[in-house]
Amino acid sequence: MSVTHMILIALAGVGAGAINAVVGSGTLITFPTLVALGYPPVTSTMSNAVGLVAGGVSGTWGYRRELRGQWKRLRWQIPASLIGAIIGAWLLLHLPEKVFVTVVPILLILALVLVLVGPRIQAWARKRAEASGNGADHVSTRRMVAVVLGTWAVGIYGGYFTAAQGILLVAVMGALLPESIQRMNAAKNLLSLLVNIVAALAYTLVAFDRISWEAAGLIAVGSLLGGFLGSHFGRRLSPNALRAVIIIVGLIGLYRLLTV
C-alpha cells in the first residue's frame, strides 16, 4: 500500500468517525474510498466495519452523559440490535451484493422523511398521551414494542451494510419516543457500536482472509480521533442544527449511493 493511499484511508476514517458520532453514516465516506482505491466491495464492507469499531467507542464515550436515564428502554433495544446484527452479518456472507444496493436508497429516503417530520410526530404523540391522562413523556407498550422491532430491523440492516444505520435509528426513535434528538443520538451511538462489534466479530471469524487488515487498522486510528471530535462538537449543536446536519449528510449519502 502506498503512502498516499494510507493517508487517504486514515483521513476517510477521521471523517467517518466524526460523522458517525454526530449523524451515523460515516460508512458513506470510508466505503466509497476503499472501493475507489481498488478494494472489492465485500472486502471494503468488512474492513470498514472492523475499522469503525474504534470510532464507535470514542463517539459513544463522548455522549455518555446523554445516555443517563435511558437504560430502562435500552435494556430491550440492546438485545434487539445484537440479534439483528447477527442476522445481518449472516446475510452479507450469503446474499449477493446487488440486493442491498437496491434496498439501501429506499430505506435512506424513508429515514430522512422521518427525521424531518419527527418533531411533529412527537408533538402529536405527546397530545395523545396527555389526553389519555398520561404524562407527556409516557411511552405506551405498543410504541415500546414498535421501537424494539424497529431497532431489530435496523440492526439487521447495520450488520448487513452499516451505511446510514444511525440515520435509520434516529428516525425510528424520533417517530416513536418523546426524547430530545441529542439523547436519541447518544442511544444511536451505543446501538450502532454494538452492531458494528457483532459484524466485525462475525467477519473476523468467518472471513478473516477477506479483510484488509491494513485498511481496517488505518480506519480504526482515524475513526478513533474522529469520534472524539464529532462527539465534542456534535453535543453543542442545537436540535434544529443537528437535524439539519443529519438531513444534509443523508442527502449527500443518498446521492453517492445512487451514483457510485
How many Cβ atoms are within 10 Å of 156's Cβ, its own excluded?
A: 22
pTM comes to: 0.78
Residue 254 contacts residue 105 (beta carbons within 8 Å) = yes
Q: Domain ranges in the chain?
A: 1-256
| Residue 23 parent element (H or E) | none
Residue 47 has pLDDT above 80, yes or no: yes
pLDDT, average across residues 30-39:
82
Query: pLDDT value at position 119?
Result: 64
Residue 172 contacts residue 113 (beta carbons within 8 Å) = no
Cα–Cα dist 191/205, whole Å: 21
Residue 136 has pLDDT above 50, yes or no: no
Distances (CA, A) of 260 to 157, 173, 191, 252: 19, 29, 28, 12
Cα–Cα dist 34/39, whole Å: 6
Residue 125 has pLDDT above 60, yes or no: no
Query: Is the model more confident about 183 or about 127?
Result: 183
Instruction: Give the residue carrying C-alpha cell 449511493.
Output: 257
Lowest-confidence region among 69-83, 153-167, 220-234: 153-167
CA angle 19/25/66 to nearest 5° reads: 60
Residue 130 has pLDDT above 60, yes or no: no
Residue 27 has pLDDT above 60, yes or no: yes
Query: Of the spans 25-29, 140-144, 208-212, which averages the highest pLDDT?
Result: 208-212
Query: Is the model more confident about 111 or about 18?
Result: 18
Q: Which of the four pLDDT bands, split at 50, 70 and 90, describes residue 163?
A: low
- pLDDT above 90 coverage of the chain, percent: 18
Query: pLDDT value at position 108?
Result: 66
